[in-house]
Amino acid sequence: MKESDNAALAEVIKTCLEEQGNNKAGTIYADPLLYKMFSGYQTSDSVYYIAVENGELLGGSGIARIPNQDKNQCELQRMFLSKEAIYDLVYIETFANMHEAIKLYERSGFEYINGAIGDTGHFSCDKFLVKKI
């Protein structure tokens, strides 16, 4: 993410929240950092990734330390994807022994499939999950 992505990302986030009826106080919608997302992810323990297709910013998601606590914990935050995104399925490759990650995927609605999709080159993975979006 670059500082120049702030405005486009803010519009994606606002549009998603408005479409869901979640454009209210107590969310990123009313947060002053909405238009300053780049600066909010410049610490060594945070990152924000954006999805861009054909030059258009379609969404993103970040990871950052949970504020005002002293534990080594992070939050998956501000995950938004515009309706213009062409994706209709999310695919995950993982390992059977990654129990905690698999629990998260299952709770998030991912379902198991019998084998790999496409050719990612990750032929050692032994669990494959998908979620329709």
Q: Where are the domains of the chain?
A: 3-81, 89-132
State percent of the chain over pLDDT 90: 65
Three-state helix/strand/coil letters over 43-79: CCCCEEEEEEECCEEEEEEEEEECCCCCCCCEEEEEE
CATH, domain 3-81, list 3.40.630.30, 1.10.357.10, 1.10.357.140, 3.30.420.40: 3.40.630.30
Whether 86 shows a pLDDT value over 80: the answer reads no
Whether 99 shows a pLDDT value over 90: the answer reads yes
pLDDT digits (tens, 9 = 90+) for 13-45: 999 999 989 999 999 999 988 999 999 999 999
**Residue 87's pLDDT band (boundaries 50, 70, 90)?**
confident
pLDDT digits (tens, 9 = 90+) for 112-133: 999 999 988 888 999 999 998 8
Q: What is the rounded CA–CA span in Å between residue 124 and residue 65?
A: 31
Whether the predicted model's global pTM rises above the 0.85 cut: no
